[in-house]
Amino acid sequence: MGCKQVDATCDNCYAMKFFNRYHHNLEEQGKGWNSNFRLLIKSWRAKLQKIAAEPGTPKVFVSSLSDIFDNDFALINAQGDLILNKDGTPRTFDQERQEFFALAANMPHVTLMLLTQRPGNITRWLPKWGAPANFWIGTSAGTQETFDRGVAALSKVQAKVRFLSLEPLLEPIDLDGKLDGIHWIIVGGESGPGARPMEAEWVRNIIKDCNRAGIPCFFKQWGTVKNNPDPNDPTILPQHESYAKGGCQLDGWRIQNFPTSQEGATT
């Protein structure tokens, strides 16, 4: 767990809020989020192995409280102390990352979705032999500038599925003619206290651009009911089977498409 903010997309980062709520003592000691130390949550291996034991072909987003392609850094424990290797050297995030890649490559039936705010780092940190076939690699983009930068960086990445998560969507983004080599688009509004607005027309235009390019699009959520133009959207209600924050219907439809098995041939 741990990360540093990259751009405006990170402004309301829930991982940072979570960290500050439970580890403010470390923050006050200068050992927390704003330093070069990040916490290691040791349970990730057990969680991954539990998912791998589930029936079928599970899909899971990896590292939702940090960024798997972050730069290297020393890890601390919950007391704020450096975690050491057997030889006394500080345990690093890159060691964890390499162990994650090795473990993940041994569970080919599990689709692991790796989302980063640092698309320029992907090729640097992927294993030298490239992304395992069960990795879907994507980048977040909430603005036109971050989208353009993300597509340029992703196009250099060898992965079965390359995707962009336009969430939180902070402004209209023009995708038309810019989706070559991209296999999937996710779009959604910001949730939580201080959530920023997202207009329905921005979402409609993104879906139109995806349809024109033949790219599957997944509309995840409005984020907040204030963004949703339909106050009667049944998916606003927590008891609805497709409940999403602020609801997830657009003009009466749920748009929840995934890449198919034919998509995503390595370039």
* Integer Rg of the chain from CA: 19
Q: Which residues contact 174 (CB under 8 A, 6 or more apart)?
A: 144, 205, 209
Tally the residues of the chain. Answer: 267
| Binding residue (CB under 6 A) for ligand SF4 from 32, 67, 215, 218 | 67
In three-state secondary structure terms, 15 is helix
In three-state secondary structure terms, 210 is helix
Report the site for ligand SF4 in 114-133 (rule: CB under 6 A). Answer: 117
Interacting span for ligand SF4 (CB under 6 A) from 11-19, 22-30, 48-56, 203-211 = 11-19
| Binding residue (CB under 6 A) for ligand SF4 from 26, 38, 40, 66 | 66
**Total residues binding ligand SF4 (CB under 6 A):** 10
Min dist CB 2 to ligand SF4, Å, is: 8
Min dist CB 261 to ligand SF4, Å, is: 29
Planar angle of CA 189, 153, 14, nearest 5 degrees = 30
Interacting span for ligand SF4 (CB under 6 A) from 8-16, 41-49, 88-96, 148-156 = 8-16
CA–CA separation, 56 vs 247, rounded Å?
28
Burial 178-211 (b: 16+ CB within 10 A, else e): ebeebbbbbbbbbbeeebbebeeebbebbbebbe
Counting runs of H as helices and runs of E as strands, what totals does the chain give?
Answer: 7, 10
Residue 16 near ligand SF4 by CB under 6 A: yes
CA–CA separation, 106 vs 109, rounded Å?
9
Min dist CB 136 to ligand SF4, Å, is: 17
Report the site for ligand SF4 in 44-63 (rule: CB under 6 A). Answer: none
Residue 41 near ligand SF4 by CB under 6 A: no
Nearer to ligand SF4, 190 or 209 (CB): 190
Nearer to ligand SF4, 6 or 83 (CB): 6
Nearer to ligand SF4, 38 or 160 (CB): 38
Q: Which residues in this chain contact ligand SF4 in the complex, by CB under 6 A?
A: 3, 5-6, 10, 13, 15-16, 66-67, 117
